[in-house]
Amino acid sequence: MSSLVALLVVVTSASLGGVSDSPTIPADLPDRPHGDPSTELAANPVLRTDNPVLRTAGTLIERMGIELDLSDPARPSGTMPVDGNTQPYGLLHGGASVVLAETLGSVAAALAAGPGRIALGVDINATHHRAVPGGVVTGRAEPLHVGRTVASYEVVVTDERGRRVCTSRITCQLRDAPTG
């Protein structure tokens, strides 16, 4: 499965069709070098499999069992098994929820930054609402602010019954990728 092990990228023209129709990210950013991310992501040069943000082999993403769904690249979601990501009491480890949240927020920011740009996490916080003894949790990143140099996302992690497990906020700096 090459370097995209544990990565589920569900991208078809049909699945991206509604991206530009939804009010995702403010379009009133005239100094933004790449235009409106909601339409830009639908065109999709960033979702190429050679994009470094989508390489998961040998990373914490793979180790945690996180699977990404980029069918709505402006609002990435992903799943993570509880098994293998527990604390000594057999419950989902709070740090595992934060790893899922940081992954989704960082991927969202990197995709919004556009080609030739990178996202660097500068802040993350999390509130844990309930214990999860098993199954799979799902996270979804929602943009709070996406500008030219900073992007912030709220990531909500839910259990298999749709109950909120964790709420996290992540802020990333957007900058030009280093050369060389």
* Contact predicate 110/119, CB 8 Å: yes
In whole angstroms, what separates CA 14 from the centre of its chain?
21
Q: If DSSP codes are grouped into helix, strand and coil, which group holds residue 90?
A: coil
Catalytic residue among 40, 62, 67, 102: 102
How far apart, in whole angstroms, are the C-alpha atoms of residue 103 and residue 65?
12
**Strand order across the beta sheet in which 136-146 lies:** 67-69, 77-81, 136-146, 150-158, 164-176, 117-128
Q: How far is CA 141 from each of CA 68, 127, 137, 145, rounded to the nearest angstrom?
A: 11, 15, 14, 12
Active site residue 142: no
**Any idea which residues carry the catalytic annotation?**
102
